A and B are shown apart, each in its own frame.
Chain A
Amino acid sequence: MNMLYDERLDGPLPTTDKDRLLADLRRNVPGLRILHTPEELGPYECDGMSSYRTLPLLVVVPDTVAQVQAVMRHCHEHHVPVVPRGAGTGLSGGAMPVEKGILLSLARFKHILDVDPHTCTARVQPGVRNLAVTEAAAAYGLYYAPDPSSQIACSIGGNIAENAGGVHCLKYGLTVHNVLRVDIVTADGSLLTLGSEALDSPGFDLLALFIGSEGLLGIVVEATVKLLPQPETARVLMASFDDVRKAARAVGDIIGAGMIPAGLEMMDNLAIRAAEDFVHVGYPVDAAAILLCELDGVEADVAVQCTRARELLEAAGATEIRLARDDDERKRFWAGRKNAFPAVGRMSPDYYCMDGTIPKRALAQVLTEIAELSRQSGLKVANVFHAGDGNMHPLILFDANEPGALERAEALGGKILELCVAVGGTITGEHGVGREKINQMCVQFGADELSLLHGVKAAFDPQGLLNPGKNIPTLARCAEFGRMHVHAGQLPHPDLERF
């Protein structure tokens, strides 16, 4: 299935004369960096979802908020679509350009404006890397909690657009729990502040609505984020299991017993072997699954919790339990998990990373069904799983040079996401819908819900110029998609005209 913008399904886009736009922007926005030759545009043709590529008309790289506003005002007046881009690490194609629009990069907004140890907050520009915030706060014993695995490269602006998570979400929350305020430029070039330095603000919670809106409602130009004190201590237990169902049970037992681990991660046998081959940290390569359970906080509490967690893991049938002896070993235990994606990448020419979330109780069932789907499609699937919060990342292994393999991988991925919805979960836990999961949105939401979501978009961007074709599918797309994915003999959106 081709995921490039399709005007027949995603709606017509206005056509802009590139040379005229270039001349207009040069004249109207003094000092604006504009890239326009094919060589300059090439690096922006995709984000972390690299299987689909499009060159935008132009790439603009503003230095100031005034320039962002001037670009947006011009595009609003002349009906030019705009796709915002942070670090371009997103996996769902949220920053994929459109052929008839410009790409607006926030790469030059890379300054940390202030770290305030008294209020435990940092004021940052959107292009600041996630990890750089933590590094700047470290001098005060503080850190920024959300830690997506791309944190070395991904930017705060992109994190806000995607409501980024990480391995510590269950205890420390997502981006939406850790951002106090954003300044945004809207589709018509206005500058608005959502949220505040205070803990709540008058009116509707537009800050929460904005976070995770994938660049469709506005462009972040500044953010104030919350900083937390570094935990005094952290310990990691690694438990091996001969059956994934036992590992799944242990997850429920630990949380049901009143513990909130800082991280609770599961890997299946294929993922364990891939990781061990890559980082050589002594993972049990014969185990059906391992659980990594990190407990953090004050020393005395952590010691008690470690003992309790060990008892529960044993009771659930763990075949081996190891407690990292020191910080070095703790980091080695984590190294395999944190490198699981590149490790799997070494086993196969290509892999496709999924991002569904399920209720934890459905884990064993879902893993069994994924194994069956994998067998039917002839493609291997390695499973890594944020077990504590139900967010799974099945990695589908394939070879893009083999004719039809990408399509088979995408079809398998789509079925896995639909399985997540069927057991009461969601098609995306933290990577976003973007372009990648636009069709599966039709499985998760009905026509009334999608219409309301389009209404929310229209309240911010009546012309639909910001990041068109992402996040919320048109009803026409769902009608077309529905023809291909009929469930239980029922056609979704039967009231719609079919193409």
Chain B
Amino acid sequence: MKPAPAAESLESLRECVRAAFDAGTPLAIHGGNTKRFLGAASRGTAFALDMRAHSGIVHYDPAELVLTARCGTRLEDIEAVLAERGQMLACEPPHFGANATFGGMVAAGLSGPRRPWVGAVRDFVLGCRVIDGEGHAMRFGGEVIKNVAGYDVSRLMTGSFGCLALLTEVSMKVLPKPSHQYTLCLDIDVGDALRRLSGWAREPLPITGACHDGSALMVRLEGGRGSVDAGAARLGGRQVDDAFWTELREHRLPFFAGSLPLWRLSLPPATAPLDLSGEVLVDWGGAQHWLRTAADAATVRHAAAQAGGSAIVYRGHDTAADAPFQPLSEPLLALHQRLKQRFDPRGLFNPGRLYPAL
């Protein structure tokens, strides 16, 4: 696969798409390639389109709580600019490498430990600019928090793995960083942890992280000093380093090392570990389980579906033989195909990255 010519401007990106359309040559769209391990490789692509040439913060006004940036901007750079003004991307996106981009974050739609309490990437997306599969540049949503004009194309783009349109610019709601943070550790088993979390969820506690690593429950409290101190007194346990949450988010905990395939199970809140072989790390207060297992894909997927959720494989899996994402039902897949057809009629964008039929 050859690199497509570096496209800095929106117009040069349009030319690139129009050329691909005329020649019928699919594009493998990428940013920093930090999440390439996730999903299948794009199929039959002639050119790799590196979005990093299209970069820069377009607009940021802290009092509006909105930041707009071109998709090739490095996530680290955006987070640094926000931090200068005491703000953050509250969905706490994993980077998985220094080169992670803003567009890659939106296309992958992955959220960090704060997600159940504060929101996912899609919850903060307000607007986007895209180029469709025929080279039309378009804008949906905007830079305001309340906006219901037209269908919500911006949130549809989030987590679409670049399979619908070429995402060129995104506006996101940002939030102030909490003034205080405190992490505590309770040496209790996972069943006890989930029972307690379920009760705490009905109390106004400033919890923004809850993870059981197999031996202990880690809880993060964030807010003003008063609420964090009161929460710490209420929950007990011993204080540990807040860096735990970054290590968890970036998969740098010892749990994530090793050769067994790594699965991510998305499950209803407070779900206990499923009856599957291997080791489990329970995050998101029970709504996200990380599983290292030798069990076959069908068994894992079936167990996740029975529990009301789904499973995707992150690492250590033969994605050529078996698509990494949980398969869709026939009518849902058909709907996905009809949408893909409308956005990208010649199938130019990341074919097969998400599902073989897209």
Q: Any chain A CB within 8 A of the CB of B109? A: yes
Contact: A258 with B86, CB < 8 Å? Answer: yes
Known: A176-B152, A203-B336. 13 other contacts (CB 8 A): A173-B123, A192-B332, A202-B327, A205-B159, A211-B152, A212-B148, A230-B204, A358-B144, A361-B61, A390-B146, A425-B142, A430-B146, A455-B342
Q: Is the CB of B150 within 8 A of A389?
A: no
The answer to whether A255 and B342 touch (CB under 8 A), given A199-B120, A202-B328, A300-B226, is no
Please indicate the chain B residues that have their CB under 8 angstroms from the CB of A439 in the complex.
none
With A258-B179, A449-B138 already in contact, the answer to whether A199 and B335 are too (CB < 8 A) is no
Q: Could you give, for residues 302-327 of chain B, a 1 whenever the CB lies within 8 Å of some chain A CB and a 0 otherwise?
A: 00000011101000000000000111
- Given A165-B146, A192-B331, A204-B159, are A213 and B151 neighbors across the interface (CB < 8 Å)? yes
Q: Which residues does A use to contact B, with CB under 8 Å?
A: 117-121, 140-142, 162-163, 165, 169-170, 173-174, 176-177, 190, 192, 196-206, 208-209, 211-213, 217, 229-232, 252-253, 255-256, 258-260, 297-301, 303-305, 357-361, 386, 389-391, 424-433, 437, 441, 444-446, 448-449, 452-453, 455-460, 471-472
The one of B148, B201, B230 in contact with A430, judged by C-beta atoms closer than 8 angstroms, is B148
Question: Which chain A residues lie closer than 8 Å to B36 at the CB level?
Answer: none
CB distance from B133 to the nearest CB of A (A): 10
Residues of B within 8 A of A177 (CB): 119, 123
| B contact residues, total (Cβ < 8 Å) | 84
- B interface, CB within 8 angstroms of A: 61-66, 86, 109, 115-116, 119-120, 122-123, 132, 136-140, 142-153, 155-156, 158-160, 164, 175-177, 179, 198, 201-204, 206, 223-227, 229-231, 266-270, 284, 287-288, 308-310, 312, 325-328, 331-333, 335-336, 338-339, 341-343, 354-355
- Contact: A202 with B65, CB < 8 Å? no
Min C-beta distance of B342 to chain A, whole Å: 3
* Cβ distance A360 to chain B, nearest Cβ, rounded Å: 6
| Contacting residue for B266 out of A199, A229, A252, A446, CB 8 A | A199
| Distance to closest chain B CB from A277 (angstroms) | 29
A-B contact pairs, 12 of them (CB 8 A): A119-B269, A162-B148, A170-B145, A196-B308, A196-B309, A260-B176, A298-B206, A359-B61, A361-B63, A391-B145, A426-B149, A444-B150
Residue of A nearest to B119 (CB): A177
Instruction: Decide: A199 near B287, CB < 8 A? Known: A209-B152, A209-B156, A428-B149.
Output: yes
B146 touches which of A298, A301, A429 (Cβ 8 Å): A429
Q: Are A206 and B146 in contact (CB under 8 A)?
A: no
State the CA gap A429–B148 with chains docked (Å).
Answer: 6
In whole Å, how far is A206's beta carbon from the nearest beta carbon of chain B? 7
B224 touches A428 (CB 8 A): no
Is the Cβ of B224 less than 8 Å from the Cβ of A425? no
When distances are taken between beta carbons in the complex, the residues of chain A under 8 Å from B164 are 204
Other-chain contact of B144, A117, A205, A426 (Cβ < 8 Å):
A426
Shortest A309–chain B CB gap in Å is: 13
Contacts A204-B339, A232-B204, A424-B142; A199 near B284 (Cβ below 8 A): yes
Task: Tell whether, in the assembled complex, residue A204 and residue B152 are in contact, meaning their CB atoms are under 8 Å apart.
Answer: no
- Whether B144 contacts A429 by the Cβ 8 Å rule is yes
Give Cα distance in the complex from A211 to B132, angstroms.
Answer: 22
Q: Are A202 and B63 in contact (CB under 8 A)?
A: no
Task: Kindly list chain B residues whose C-beta atoms are within 8 Å of the C-beta of A121.
Answer: 269
Which residue of B is nearest A446, CB measured? Answer: B138
Contacts of B312 in A (CB 8 A): 202
Q: Which residue of A lies closest to B311 (CB)?
A: A202
